[in-house]
Amino acid sequence: MTDIRKKLVLVGNGMAGVRAIEHLLKLSPEAYEITIFGSEPHPNYNRIMLSSVLAGGSSMEEIIINDLEWYHSHGIRLYMGHTITSIDTAERKVYSDKGIVLPYDELILATGSNPFMLPLPGAEKEGVIAFRDIKDCQIMQETSQSYRKAVVIGGGLLGLEAARGLLHLGMEVSVVHIHPYIMERQLDEPASVMLRKELEEQGMKFLLNKQSEAILGKKRVKGLLFADGEIADADLIVMAVGIKPNVELAQKSGVQTNRGIVVNDYMETNIPGVYAVGECAEHRGIAYGLVAPLYEQGAVLAKRLAQVPTDGYSGSVTSTKLKVSGVDVFSAGQFTERPGTRALRYQDEIEGIYKKLVIQDDQLVGAVLFGDTGDGAQLFSMIKNGENIKGKEKELLLGISSDALASPKGNRLEGMADDEIICGCNGVSKSAIAEAIQSGGCTSVGEIKACTKASASCGGCKPLVEGLLQLYAGDNVVTVKEGICGCTTLGRDEIVAEIRRMELKTVKEVMNVLEWNTEEGCAKCRPSLNYYLGMLWPEEYIDEKESRITNERYHANIQKDGTYSVVPRIYGGVTSPAELMKIAEVAAKFEVPLVKFTGGQRLDLLGVKKEDLPKMWEELDMPSGHAYGKTLRTVKTCVGSTFCRFGTQDAMGMGVRLEKAFERLNTPGKVKLAVSGCPRNCAEATIKDFGVVAIDGGWELHIGGNGGVHVRATDLLCVVKTDDEVLEWASAFLQYYREQAGWNERTAQWVERVGLDSIKEVLEVRENRLALQERILTALSVTTDPWKQIVNEPELRKNFEQLSEMKTV
């Protein structure tokens, strides 16, 4: 049967374009055969949450908006890692850099924007980057492992978010800004000064009124030279000085451009059948860089494509919120005084609160909030709606009263337009939340979060969501505690207890019996349930591969360029000439571009193609080092008494024994061990999850260390005399951690949460240790190296290779 649907091609797999597709699928799901091209090797993700990823608040999996299953379920063909290089608007065809030629009936350009890089001498040096996408985020994380000093050029919204993330990564951060105060486009000077003081207390340094002159260094950046002759030392320079619409493709194709791609109120360009939406689009002379206007554009475009009547897009009033841990800042509208306006201010230096309202003709036209931003969404709504506030000025300045909000009569929430965006991070409108409450039966914030994603990211819209819940649900509102995610109200301990009590044996069964709010769960709960079931029923449970992250499914670490990193296991960091020769031969055969020693005394083969992974593991014929999983990663050792004149015990022998004992052990978080042959501690055992330090006549056993972003020294668990006792205590500790910790909780966090004394109380009883040891041996007895399956099972290997070679979804 001939497919009579029109062919719709979207160039750009970002937030604005895909949001337009989401709206279109709701309005007219069968009207188009949809193809999407994205330059990045990732599905659609929430770019504005990158700062949260950098600061440790979210994982990459958690900021994915539409996973690959979403594209598949809606029949969308996705080309990841493909860049459209040219468009033939006469023949209506697009051409990708990978040789794909595709015809279209309708074409959406959502090419986004590019970071503006200052044309400074030396800007091409290694270590000079922007902060725009996942790749930049990964570079910052990698740089923080080897370097200490970072300079961020730009004291605006994005620059401060990048700087805070780098602080979280343990770097020394200086923010360079050409203006006398930071965030001058969003804040007035008093609010800016308060913000700067708060950020300085967090460790951030500021170099204001500075004109950057040149970037110093030979191959890699070493510093930043200013026009006044001063120099700031830098191992990394992040430019966050603005963005510019990506119009190159449009220009080459004859599409009219100015600063952006020029569009009318229906997002149409000057070429029939070609539309533009998002940061690349210029509407009435304005190119927006914030998410809410882009979502509004997407909704209008979807209606146009679905032939649904629409008034068109008339522009947006914008608001901004700084996503920095421990700091609340909100700005909206015209926040500076102009002729014909008046400003009201409230400042409390003790509590760190500042509010400013700008009023014109009895209407609120702008607002700045610092320290207490709870009223931000309500004030923004009033700015957009042009509400008359005469007589309410004091109430608004000192805080909108709860009585006013709760009153059905004149309720400001009720007066909001249905298509107004409530959750800017995820583009959730008032009508979507209303529908979730009225038709979907949601009676709590958690249920709304699970159903619509509102308040699931930064959480800034939660007060507004609560207000809408009260408005539409009234007496049916249920106050519930937060569960492990928005899909359930149950916490970790409750879930584990119910799985054990009712002997639940699959992820789907847990979700059904425990009444999950969402049928398929989410990126937070599925991996945790998969772990809890495997921990409780090691001999019966079949690991659910689809609940694992990409790295764990492919058994290799994906890199920023889409290639993979392979790390074979080298027990205790001890190898042989024959093993080294084998690794070298395999690396040469598969043309591995880089081989690197890791911090855990292993070899990392970087730049491996996905399709080569099965064959490479077969050639290596070595166990996986599990450098990608929540399992035992490494056991670091020094040479100990075997060679060192200070060594008192055989550190290498003990390290190899521990690693062979616990390899392939699934744990709530990644686990690293180390064995030092004397108290000089060359293997850094006292910042590991389980550390063993040799002393005269025995071993010290240490727990709960972490050498990452938040360094934590271990606590001394006990002192033992024999090697067998080391294994007994290590087995007991690791199993107790497996059974008691929450998913994704490292030992350092767990030990701090439950306390050293409570752990000692359990493990000091030998009967408890032996029982725990027996359970960990049972769990280990059913594990095999994951690559044995792919190498030895032809059908599984065939499926993997087919998946690896797919260029579309």
Would you say 682 is a known binding-site residue?
yes
**Paired tokens of 84:** 């459209």
**What is the Cα 94 distance to its own chain's centre?**
32
Contact between 701 and 719 (Cβ < 8 Å): yes
- Length, in residues, of the chain: 809
The Cα–Cα gap between 685 and 678 comes to 10
Q: How many helices (H) and strands (E) does the chain have?
A: 28, 38
Would you say 442 is a known binding-site residue?
no
Please give the angle made by the CA atoms of 99, 105 and 106, to the nearest 5 degrees: 95
- Exposed/middle/buried for residue 393 (C-beta within 10 Å: 0-12, 13-18, 19+): middle
Would you say 638 is a known binding-site residue?
yes
Contact between 23 and 44 (Cβ < 8 Å): no
**Paired tokens of 455:** 């308040």
DSSP string covering 417-461: -TT-EEETTTTEEHHHHHHHHHTT---SHHHHHHHH-TTSSS-TT
The Cα–Cα gap between 511 and 30 comes to 31
- Give strand ranges (E) for 383-537: 421-423, 428-429
Distances (CA, A) of 688 to 146, 173, 691, 702, 727: 19, 27, 6, 8, 16
Closest to 688 measured CA to CA, from 669, 661, 660: 669
- Identify the bridge partners of residue 174 per DSSP, sorted by sequence position: 151, 205
Would you say 137 is a known binding-site residue?
no
Given strand 223-226, what is the order of strands in its sheet? 212-216, 223-226, 231-233
For residue 746, what are the contacts with CB-CB under 8 A and spacing of at least 6?
A: 668, 669, 670, 689, 706
First to last CA, the chain: 22
The Cα–Cα gap between 444 and 406 comes to 16
For residue 357, what are the contacts with CB-CB under 8 A and spacing of at least 6?
A: 343, 344, 345, 364, 366, 367, 379, 393, 396, 397
The Cα–Cα gap between 807 and 82 comes to 9
- Exposed/middle/buried for residue 153 (C-beta within 10 Å: 0-12, 13-18, 19+): buried
Phi, psi of 550 (to 5 degrees): -55, -45
- Using only C-alpha atoms, what is the Rg of the chain? 29
Please give the angle made by the CA atoms of 124, 128 and 132, to the nearest 5 degrees: 115
User: Taken in order 313, 314, 315, 319, is the CA torsion positive or negative?
Assistant: negative
Distances (CA, A) of 313 to 157, 263, 304, 423, 789: 26, 10, 11, 19, 54
Residues comprising the binding site for [4Fe-4S] cluster? 638, 644, 678, 682
Residues comprising the binding site? 638, 644, 678, 682
Residues comprising the binding site for siroheme? 682
